[in-house]
């Protein structure tokens, strides 16, 4: 589990890299982060 800054309130929030979810207790928001398709395309091209 990683800790990142919440994009809404800038408080520290846990980020689960396995599921791609950020769960901020400070502002009560749970976000699902979409994977970056550009990186996948670049890795495939290499």
Spatial distance between the Cα atoms of 41 and 37, rounded to a whole number of angstroms: 6
pTM, full prediction: 0.65
Structural domain boundaries, residue 11: 2-45
Q: pLDDT of 13-32, one tens digit each?
A: 999 988 889 999 999 999 99
Spatial distance between the Cα atoms of 7 and 5, rounded to a whole number of angstroms: 6
Q: Could you tell me if 34 and 22 are in contact, meaning their C-beta atoms sit under 8 angstroms apart? A: no
Q: What's the pLDDT score for residue 43?
A: 64
Total number of domains constituting the chain: 1
Q: Which two tokens stand for residue 19?
A: 């599921």
Spatial distance between the Cα atoms of 7 and 23, rounded to a whole number of angstroms: 11
Share of the chain above pLDDT 90, in %: 59
Q: What's the pLDDT score for residue 38?
A: 67
Q: What's the pLDDT score for residue 34?
A: 81
């Amino acid at each position: 589990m990683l800790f990142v800054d919440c994009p809404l309130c800038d408080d520290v929030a846990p980020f689960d890299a396995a599921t791609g979810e950020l769960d901020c207790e400070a502002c009560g928001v749970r976000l699902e982060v979409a994977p970056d398709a550009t990186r996948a395309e670049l890795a495939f091209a290499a």
